[in-house]
Amino acid sequence: MSRIARILSGGVTRASDGEVPLIGMTDGALVKRTLDGDARAFTELVDRHAAACLRFAGRMLGDRSEAEDVAQETFLRAFKALEAYDDRLPFRTWLFSILINRCRTMMSQRMRRERRVVFDNDALDRSSVEAAQSSMELREELNHAIAALSPEQREAFLLRHVEELSYEEIMSVTGAGMSALKMRVKRACERLQQLLTDEGGVRR
């Protein structure tokens, strides 16, 4: 069905003549309009954040289908809990706190399955790991290297260096302390450097 299950099976709503345009509104304003009954507002929120949710879930879970399921469930849970949203917190941060919990749950349910990390080319270009940018072979090596990180290190690394959240935001969505997060990111970078510079690189 895609596009987050056609905006959670409600169909994609479009603006009709005379309706207030939503493009340019803040996330907080869209949340308020959603709570006031404007279905278009939540559609706009999904459109704004779906790609980031799918990207993160795909890297954490290594499975496109599971990533889509997790992203869909994340938006469904967000919609149901929208009245509890505190607009003093960025909507994206609040949404990612739900997403991370869903990813953790999914991972715990299939611990025996091999983890792979799937990247899109545009997201790879944003990564701080320069080795990934040299060739398709090195991109594949990076995929395997990140998959080899512990879940905590992978989560912290992706949130910091790919999704570009601040440490304060990462603290909010993961519940971990500042020192622990910085250590996870540091160790993840060191581990990636080690894996990517070992002779022969990372192999399955």
Which residue ranges form the domains of the chain, and what is each CATH number?
1-115 (1.10.1740.10), 119-204 (1.10.10.10)
pTM over 0.75: no
Q: Are 43 and 12 in contact (CB under 8 A)?
A: yes
Q: What is the pLDDT along the chain (204 residues), one digit of tens a residue?
A: 545 555 555 554 554 545 666 888 999 999 999 999 998 999 999 999 999 999 999 889 888 899 999 999 999 999 999 999 998 899 999 999 999 999 999 988 766 444 444 555 555 455 544 444 445 666 677 778 888 899 999 999 999 998 989 999 999 999 999 999 999 999 999 999 888 887 455 554
Query: Hey, what's the torsion of the CAs at 102, 105, 106, 109, to 10 degrees?
Result: -170
